Amino acid sequence: MKNDKTNTEKKILQAAYCIFLLYGYHGASLRQIANKAKINKAAIHYYFRSKERLYFKVIEAVRTNTIFNSRFNVLADQQTAKKHIWFLYTELYNNKPLFKEALKDIYTNKWEKKLTEIDKWLKDKTFN
């Protein structure tokens, strides 16, 4: 049973990442995410409680996929790196208040430093 739960959570996170990447937080709907994950919309509420909590988990998933780790070392998969960069860039500039809240949730005491690092890193990636 635990495997089913893990698979459902993973499907929701992957779908949410894709939908947030395409539409941003404000343009994305839970219905779109549910359709992409091929699950019932109620499952999103069961696993994540709200769109905001799901968004925070997506930010955390991006973080754990090495983009935030190891001082932003280059990812082996360039396609994934480009998606992460695009996601961070658009969310940081189009949805900064909620993005900051997500960072506060992940990096309780170091979120401002992390935000500065991400901003600087994105500017270097964008203009190089």
Tokens matching residue 60: 């955390």
CATH code of the domain containing 15: 1.10.357.10
Range of the domain at 67: 2-127
Domain count for the chain, please give it: 1
pLDDT tens digits for range 64-91:
664 555 444 454 567 777 787 888 888 8
- Considering the entire predicted model, what is its pTM? 0.79
Residue 103, class by beta-carbon neighbours within 10 Å (0-12 exposed, 13-18 middle, 19+ buried)?
Answer: buried
